[in-house]
Amino acid sequence: MTMDDVTDFNNRTIAEFRENGGKVGGPFAGAPLLLLHTTGARSGKPRINPMVYLPDGDRYLVFASKGGADSNPDWYWNLRANPEAWIEVGDRTVEVRAVELERAERDEKYRVQAERYPGFAEYQRKTDRIIPVIALVPVTAR
């Protein structure tokens, strides 16, 4: 899949998410999905990425799996550089601060996600890197 293909897929997913109050079909059908708004680490430009999340109390956990690639996704680096972000969840917008989970908590939360969505177990098997888990912690509702 080329970057143009990924961009087209993401744009279609974002449009469907917004048209249907956070619900989409296709590979994300039935999964909890959010739209993560970050600021580009190098460009400073706004970026939006749809992603499956794991609800965890008032936090939203996201997984920097990149389909099991050997490098972290761009959104991960964007959050490392600029941890203040915002998300669209359902029909709400929430300001968040990104916090990377430490190893023991990361391992437990990744295990839970992989049990719910076996594709995440496959992503970890495909790479030697430890896939980061990021907690998106609400700051205030918008």
Note the pTM of the prediction, 2 decimals: 0.92
Question: Is residue 82 classed exposed, middle or buried when 0-12, 13-18 and 19+ CB atoms within 10 A define those classes?
Answer: middle
> What does the pLDDT read at residue 42?
93
Taking every pair of C-alpha atoms in the chain, what is the biggest distance, in angstroms? 39
For residue 67, give the DSSP letter: G
pLDDT above 60 (res 142): no
Range of the domain at 106: 3-141
Contact indicator for 95, 142 with CB cutoff of 8 Å: yes
In the chain, the amino acid numbered 55 is P
**What backbone torsions phi and psi does residue 110 show, to the nearest 5 degrees?**
-65, -40
Contact indicator for 24, 88 with CB cutoff of 8 Å: no
For 49, the token pair is 């990425």
For residue 70, give the DSSP letter: S
> What does the pLDDT read at residue 5?
75
> What does the pLDDT read at residue 88?
97
Total of domains in the chain: 1
> What does the pLDDT read at residue 27?
83
pLDDT tens digit string along 56-110? 999 999 999 999 999 999 999 999 999 999 999 999 999 999 999 999 999 999 9
Q: Give the CATH number for residue 43.
A: 2.30.110.10
pLDDT tens digit string along 109-119? 999 999 999 99
In sequence order, which residues have a C-beta less than 8 Å from that of residue 138 and are 6 or more positions away? Answer: 58, 59, 94, 95, 96
